[in-house]
A and B are shown apart, each in its own frame.
Chain A
Amino acid sequence: MDLSAQLALTVLMGVFLAAVAMALSRLEDWRTYTPLTSGGGVAGGESGYITREKPLGLTRWLTTVDHKDIGILYGVFAVISFAWGGLAVLLIRTELMTPAMDVLEGLGGEAFYNGLMTSHGITMLFLFGTPVIASLSNYFIPLLIGADDMAFPRINAIAFWLLPPAALLIWAGFFLDPMTGGAIESAQTSWTMYTPLSIMQTNPGVDLFLLGLHLSGVSATLGAINFLVTIFSERNEEVNWANLDIFSWTILTQSALILFAFPLLGSAIVMLLLDRNFATTFFTVQGGSPILWQHLFWFFGHPEVYILVLPPMGVISLIIPKFSGRKLFGFKFVVYSTLAIGVLSFGVWAHHMFTTGIDPRIRLSFMAVSLAIAIPSAVKTFNWITTMWNGDIRLTAPMLFSVGFVSNFIIGGVTGVFLSSIPVDQLLHDTYYVVGHFHYIVMGAIAFAGFAAMYYWYPIVSGRMYQKTLARWHFWTWMIGSNITFFAMLLLGYDGMPRRYATYGDQGAPFSVLIQNLHIIASVGAFIMAIGTIIWLYNFVVSWYEGPAAGPDPWDLREYGMESREFEWHADRLETAITDGGSDDQSDD
């Protein structure tokens, strides 16, 4: 970089730091400004009590360390990411309705398709999945364990604020491509970033993408440390290990998994960046070998699956009893299964590598452990079913999504058991069967549970009730759409359709008509889910402003003897607000 550019950047950086310093001196001297007015005036007209908790307007959201606010921020961020990842996949599915490259041709063809596919995977896992769970846990773990806040509120805020820049970096290639005339493109490494491909792609968009991913890993690790300390040391004296709720158990286990898995991903990414930019040879064929990357990546990557699925399992274990009128069947065994899955999850990673030519004896042991992990998963599934058995079932939206979770989890889980068998994997590896299997889990189960939780706790967060008919429409579009799409993918896999391809059938293969039909069916299912998502978004936004007040016990939990700490807290808050004669600090949440 020449001297004038360096100077210009120095001046720019100086101006930026001066602006930061000015903003900070304004914020830190707030007390000299506020007594005269009620604050920034953006949300004027609220009671003076509010200003003792936090400032108003945008400043509140930029400076908040309140776990509930941070939970909402995570939620909004997750929804934006979900929209990005969802739009990416709709473009992908539209392209795949025809064998040739046509729909995306004008936008960049195969390269654009590869960028979309990479972005869809990373966005949904790291920028939607992990944050949506963090949203739920930030808001509700302190309430469920009776803590005032998280153990480290500032670290909590740091963990959140790392995510928006991480997302911008991960998506940067898409924005910079038109701005730089194609010099910087979107990353096309797929979410697994397999070497040597990810070293050979010299596009700086990949470096930005890796940095973003690294930052999101730092964020997840900070969050995990915070949850571990909070659940260990901030519990109310009434909450002990014997009566700790199931969601907290799963978040505890998940946080431990994050603590062991994410730093490893961070280190592997730094090594990959060094290989790309500093000519190190960690993952080159002549050096440490590309297989080393796969080992390191999947040592993180498989626990990541459980990082994503354990808290949703906790949510389901929490919600199903409430609407079945029965306690969770075999609570202890659900907890033990959670812990067992947590431990076993670190011993299965090489089942992603059965076809790489690694030692057959190693493959054998990984097949055995992968099969074994079906046992605690099945224990949970049977316990959910048994909890519902003979129960007083109420099919509310959260319950519908929970039952949908169990149904999809069974299909996703059983196909996973098949895949863990080496001979089956040899045939189905890198086909759409794998794509169908893990989408049944990540969309059919994890996202379903995320939305079950959103519906279940919506009255607490918003103080209002959503429109129940629209919620049912959302559920049925998703249930039908996901099964159409992902079952078609399983069939595509049996038919030998390889994953990651933008085009197909150009070899004149005899089954290409069937493959195209299955692709069309899968795409139709995706659009049905997109309609459901729009219904959900409309419902939540409109109900936030216009929905009927939810009241202290929106699910009649007291009537069914199903009281729980977070709804008791909610009722207390409403009662306090009424006796105070005005809204309290959270009423606008």
Chain B
Amino acid sequence: MDAQPGLDDQYRRSSSWPLFVALGLVISELGVLFGVIPISVGGLVLFIGAIAAAVSEAGYTDRPWRLLAGLGGLLVGVGVLIAVTQASALAPEEVVGVFAKGFAQPPNGVVVRGISIIVAGIAGIVLALVGPQLATTHR
């Protein structure tokens, strides 16, 4: 419970994260369903960031960053899977080329959603990489 100093330390029965886990899930569901990339990316980053922080605060991990990177990787995998469903064959060039469908006119909606989830995953991984540095300088 006491791995990271924060709200949870001072107030035994408080945590900043649950509200943001919930908000993150709501925003990401909205973004992904309606295919609005900024909303789904923002929502998913908030969602996995808050999960990693809550898990770390609860003492299941020492630091949130590796879990955050893992969740980011999971999103990248899910996003790729969703996009690849739109490939006409499982040949390597088809699988790589499928992402172009997200930028075609009109764009393939499923690929757009896949890309948004991948971008969110990459953002999560980047956050996990720069986070420790930021946290050190901040404290």
Contact = CB atoms under 8 A, between A and B. Distances in A.
Interface string A146-171: 00010001111110111001100100
A241 interface: no
Contact of B16 (A9, A27, A155, A162): A27
Interface stretch (A53-61, A185-193, A387-395, A484-492): A53-61
Given A1-B36, A215-B26, A273-B33, A64 B5 contact: no
Given A65-B15, A161-B18, A215-B25, A13 B10 contact: no
Given A66-B13, A215-B25, A30 B18 contact: no
A587 interface: no
A6 B11 contact: no
Nearest to B138: A25
Nearest to A56: B11
Given A1-B36, A162-B25, A54 B20 contact: no
B19 A157 contact: yes
Interface string B37-72: 111011001100000001001100000000000000
B22 A162 contact: yes
Contacts of B15: 63, 65, 153-154, 157
A20 interface: yes
A34 B17 contact: no
A10 B38 contact: yes
A63 B21 CA distance: 12
Contacts of A149: 13
A214 B29 contact: yes
B67 to A, nearest CB: 14
A207 interface: yes
Given A55-B14, A66-B13, A165 B23 contact: yes
A359 interface: no
Interface in A354-378: none
Nearest to B42: A13
Given A27-B7, A215-B25, A277-B33, A158 B41 contact: no
Nearest to A210: B33
Contacts of B36: 1, 6, 9
Given A6-B38, A28-B16, A63-B7, A161 B30 contact: no
A16 interface: yes
A53 B12 contact: yes
Nearest to B29: A211
A60 B19 contact: no
Contact of B110 (A156, A162, A278): A278
Interface of A: 1, 6, 9-10, 12-14, 16-17, 20, 24-25, 27-31, 34, 51-55, 59-60, 62-66, 69, 149, 153-158, 160-162, 165-166, 169, 204, 207, 211, 214-215, 218, 273, 277-278
Q: Which 6 A-B pairs have the closest CB atoms?
A: A157-B18, A161-B22, A13-B42, A28-B6, A66-B13, A10-B38
Interface of B: 4-7, 9-23, 25-26, 29-30, 33-34, 36-39, 41-42, 45-46, 54, 57-58, 109-110, 138
